[in-house]
Every structure is written in structure tokens, then in C-alpha cells.
Amino acid sequence: MGRIGWELSAVSIAVVVAGGLVFLSYSNDIDRARFAVASGARVANTAAGPIEYAERGEGTPLLSIHGAGGGWDQGLTNVADLVGNGFRVIAPSRFGYLGTPIPSDASPAAQADAHRALLSELQIDKAVVVGVSAGARSAIELALRHPDRVSALILIVPGTYAPESPVMVEGSRGSAFVFWLVNTGADFAWWATEKLAPSILIRFLGVPPEVVEAAPENDRNRVMAIIRSVEPLSRRFPGINIDSAPDLHRLPLEKIAAPTLVVSAQDDLFNTLPAAKFAAGSIPGAKLVVYDTGGHLLVGDGEDVKKAVSDFLAQTGTMQPSGSRGGPSVWPNSPAPSSTRS
């Protein structure tokens, strides 16, 4: 074999070895993700059909409704970041996510009825309801359709209706590519993008990458943990497909009787601010908190968001004010909100 032949052979071997290492790393990561979502939750056979859910903690019942790309695992994480101890958290997987099947009617209204059915199955009369992003749609419907079940309503970066400026995926080419791979359920493509070009996924999740770059290490780690929590994408993309084509329309928000807190950010790339303002302006007595920066994940706003939630729940009588109770927060310190409305 000549010199060129040896060089080609060496390159071929290197490519095979590198490919094998990449595949091994991917296999280890995706196996861990699959194992994680296969444990820690259970399925309730409710009047609305089977609903997968997980529970954590003791105290005041709190229903945590996850956003697009989530599941019961993200529902638990979302609320751990917001309220700390003193709550019995119930975190369902919405229709099409993880172990919850898609019924013939997968509308937010039907999902709200499923939330009520789960609470009934667990013998819970009333709960604080937290709806994050796309999860805010069924949270609002629950407050409208079953008001006796909602003691307080918290909408975080709500992916809901706005009359003039709709919620939408950020319009860059990178986000268009990620939207395509998400809707194909491509586990390896999501994993590889996370490793090679995480800024594309950060932008797709509604956060300006420069905000993450400038954030403290704890916040940067939290953002990457959220990106990883979408894995395995193939177990979540049926639900993502539902969330990606919502039938958003005006609802009678003025009929919501539950005390309501709405939170968003000026630079949310999903454009939830108009929806947040519309919801807070339409729901009687609702409080709106808006941050200058942080994007859809409220990067850098964690301590202030937690305080806003704590103080709001103290006003409803469901927990003590933030200054009189302890409890760690996952999110680091951040600037004060840019505007507050009561």
C-alpha cells in the first residue's frame, strides 16, 4: 500500500473512531433521558382518560401545568424554582407528552377538563394553578370552566391570545430549522445541536443568546438544563405538534374570579408580552409584572419572580410572605421588575 493509501486508511479509521465516540456519547445521554421519564411518574385513570402525573411535597395543593416541550418532569422543575416548600405539587403531562395519550379533542378546554378530572381522582377540591407558556392556555380554561377548583392563578410568560400581536416562534433561519426538527421528533438532531450550536436552541426557546452569555453561571447552567430536559424529543413531539398549531381566540377573561398574577419579559422572543398585558388587563384585579430582560425563560429574574409569586400567594392566604419564610431558590439575583400593575 502506498503513502496515499496509508493516509486514507488512517483518516478512515479516525472518522470511524470519532463517529463511534459520538454515537456512544449520544446513546448514553439519550438512554439516561429515556430512563428518567420512564420513572418518577404514574398514570391516573380519570374520567377524562389516562393522565400521567407526578407529585412532590406536602401542603397546599398546586397544579403545575408545563409549557411546550415539557412533561411532568418540567412541571415539577418549574414550580420548584418558583415556590419552594409548603406545597403538594401535582404535575401532569399534557396531551401528547410522555405518558399521556392524545384524545380526539385535544383543545385547551378539553385539557382543562382533564386537569379537573385529575384533581378529582386525587380528591383535591381546590388548587393553586400555575400555567407556564403554552400551559397557560389550559390554566385559563380551567379557571373559566371550573372556577371552584382554582384558588389562585399564576400565568408565567403566557402563550395565550392577544388581539393585535400574536405569540409566535422567533423568525430566524436557525429557529425555523429547529422548529422543523422538533416536529419530526429527531432525538439525535436535537442532541447534536445542543452540543455544536446551543445558541440556536437558546434562541428557539425564546431567549436572546446574548442575555444568556451575560448571565451568571447558575443561570447559564439552568438554561442548558432546560435544553437537555426536552430530551427525549421523540417522547414529547406529539404534544409539541398540538402546541405549535393553537386555535387561539378571545376568551371571556373578565369572568375569571380567581386572584391572578401574570409575568412576562420585554425581550421574550415568543412575544408573550402582548398576551400577558391583554390577560392582566382583562382579568379583574389581576397583577402584571414585566421584566426588561430575561427572554422566555426569565433568565436572571429568578429571585424577583419568586418573590413576586410568594407575595402574591401570601395575599391569597396560601403561603407566608417571602420576607417571613425561608427556602432555597434555583434562580440567582436579578434586577427589579420594570413595571408592576395591580
The pLDDT of residue 20 is 57
Secondary structure class of 41 (helix, strand, coil): coil
Cβ–Cβ under 8 Å, residues 42 and 100:
no
Compute the half-sphere exposure of residue 159: CA atoms within 13 Å on the CB side of its CA.
24
3-state SS, residue 245: coil
Q: What is the pLDDT of residue 339?
A: 39
Domains in the chain, CATH or no CATH each: 42-168+241-248+257-341 (3.40.50.1820)
Residue 155 near residue 136, CB atoms below 8 Å: yes
pLDDT tens for the chain, 342 residues: list them.
555 555 445 445 544 445 555 667 888 888 899 888 888 899 999 999 999 999 999 999 999 999 999 999 999 999 987 887 889 999 999 999 999 999 999 999 999 999 999 999 999 999 999 999 999 999 999 999 999 999 999 999 999 999 988 887 666 666 677 777 776 778 888 898 899 989 999 999 999 999 999 999 999 999 999 999 999 999 998 999 899 887 899 999 999 999 999 999 999 999 999 999 999 999 999 999 999 999 999 999 999 999 999 999 998 877 655 443 333 222 322 333 333 433
Residues listed for the chain = 342
Cα 57–chain centre separation: 20
Helix axes 173-182, 187-196, angle to 10 degrees: 150
pLDDT at residue number 341: 37
pLDDT of residue 83: 81
Q: Which of helix, strand or coil describes residue 180?
A: helix
CA distance linking residue 9 with residue 18, whole number of Å: 14
Q: What is the pTM of this model?
A: 0.86
Q: How far is Cα 250 from Cα 262, in angstroms, rounded to an integer?
A: 17
d(CA 242, CA 139): 16
Q: How many helices (H) and strands (E) does the chain have?
A: 12, 9
For strands 287-291 and 260-265, give the pairing. parallel
Alpha-carbon span 285 to 257, nearest angstrom: 9
From the list 222, 256, 235, 173, the residue with the least C-alpha distance to 330 is 222
Please tell me the predicted confidence (pLDDT) of residue 88.
95
CA angle (163 as vertex; 107, 170 as ends), nearest 5: 75
Residue tagged 386572584 (cell numbers): 259
pLDDT of 213 reads 95
SS3 78: helix
